[in-house]
Amino acid sequence: MNGLYTIILLVLSNVFMTLAWYGHLKLQQTGISSNWPIICVILFSWGIAFFEYCCQVPANRLGFVDNGGPFNLVQLKVIQECISLIVFAVIVNIMFQNQGLRWNHYAAFVLLIGAVYLVFLK
């Protein structure tokens, strides 16, 4: 079960991360934050990133093999990166609909799946 909880927390973490890193750009695009000073944008993003850490840290602790989880550090990192890119692609396509995915993006996702496969080989 630790593996499943780890994956769920990593997905949540990456949703918050993507919103923290790129959500302010959507707010700017809509005019909401166009006049915000950069310090306000940073504080806004940090406020969202707090919740990213609230999910990321427990995900790593639960998933790490030395804490009873199923993953070593390299596996945790590769899983996190793959989830990050998938979540990013989904959120960007929802928030910024003019940023479509092309064939090379799909090819990159296939290569990422290959990376996950290689990391899990014994």
pLDDT tens for each residue of 34-64? 899 999 999 999 999 999 999 999 999 999 9
Helix (H) or strand (E) holding 121: none
Per-residue pLDDT, 52: 96
| 119 touches 75 (CB < 8 A) | yes
Domain span including residue 50: 2-120
Q: What is the pLDDT of residues 63-109, one digit of tens each?
A: 999 999 999 999 999 899 889 988 988 888 888 777 777 889 889 88
* Token pair recorded at residue 70: 């199923």
d(CA 76, CA 55): 14
* Domain count along the chain: 1
